Amino acid sequence: MVVEVPAIAILPVPFNPEQVIIALAILIPVLVIFNFLLISEEVFESIGFGFYQAMLVTAGALLGSLLNIPLITIDTATIAINVGGAAIPLFVTIGMVARNRVLLPKTLAAIAVVTIAAHVFATPVPGLGITMPFYIAPLTGAAVGLLLARGCRTAPELAYAGGTMGTLLGADILNLANPTVFTSLAGGAATTLSIGGAGIFDGIFVTGVFSVLLAGYAGRHLRQSAGVCPQEPE
């Protein structure tokens, strides 16, 4: 008599409470990061990038967060640019302008407005860096994008350019250009001051993602309810 035994058997495995807590502690951050990456990929698609380009930009921002390119050394402090948090948003903005996704004058205007707002609300903190309330740049970027685009479909692109470049200029570059702030942040020790900071989870990258989401949602609502841009059917 031949007895068939299944090749794969799924048996219940008992878990104690400590194992459940450890599993949740690992799985929840992984799921959050995974979903954030999916959202960011969709954001880049919405501002004119193809699927593979969007994936490449998102992956570049993640991996580039580990890379700082030194620019200049002053005394014992080195000013560097972070690839994920600064260089990639810069290339994305230049790419949108080069492909005529947005007009250069409107892009510069969006950047100027967010630069002012970011500089007003940014606070240099010795030993920590430059901090700013997380909602300032996304809200400002989305609002100025909607105003300059008059609610039309270029609002997300303008929101991204204004939010990311405005934050870079207003929060990071203008503060580092201030000798008093620079000395305070450097602290007289050998250190690296990174423009763009922590890459994918830096305020600049997150600002770009949320600026696009806010401008896209608000713009779609305006087109549906207020009748703006009737030449752009949903």
Q: Using N-to-C axis directions, what is the helix angle for 104-121 and 88-98, rounded to 10°?
A: 150
Higher-confidence position of 44 and 175:
175
What pLDDT, on a 0 to 100 scale, did the predictor assign at position 2?
Answer: 60
Range of the domain at 23: 17-226
Residue 233 lies in a domain: no
Band (9; pLDDT cuts 50, 70, 90) = low
Strands (E) across the chain are located at: 68-74, 77-82, 123-125, 129-131, 191-195
- Number of domains into which the chain is organized: 1
Q: What percent of the chain has pLDDT over 70?
A: 80
Residue 9 lies in a domain: no
Residue 183 lies in a domain: yes
What pLDDT, on a 0 to 100 scale, did the predictor assign at position 103?
Answer: 92
What pLDDT, on a 0 to 100 scale, did the predictor assign at position 10?
Answer: 53
pTM: 0.81
Q: Report whether pLDDT(67) > 50.
A: yes
Residues in the chain, overall count: 234
Residue 3 lies in a domain: no
Instruction: Compute the CA torsion angle 143, 147, 150, 155 (nearest 10 deg).
Output: -40
Higher-confidence position of 179 and 43:
179
Q: What percent of the chain has pLDDT over 90?
A: 27
Residue 234 lies in a domain: no
What pLDDT, on a 0 to 100 scale, did the predictor assign at position 154?
Answer: 86
Is-contact 93 165, C-beta < 8 A? yes
Residue 217 lies in a domain: yes
Is-contact 88 64, C-beta < 8 A? yes
Residue 108 lies in a domain: yes
Band (36; pLDDT cuts 50, 70, 90) = low
Q: Report whether pLDDT(18) > 90.
A: no
Query: Strands 77-82, 123-125: parallel, antiparallel or unpaired by DSSP?
Result: unpaired
State mean pLDDT over 111-121.
95
Residue 64 lies in a domain: yes
Q: Any idea which of 56-60, 102-106, 165-169 has the lowest mean pLDDT?
A: 56-60
Q: What distance in Å separates the CA atoms of residue 87 and residue 71, rounded to the nearest whole number? A: 12
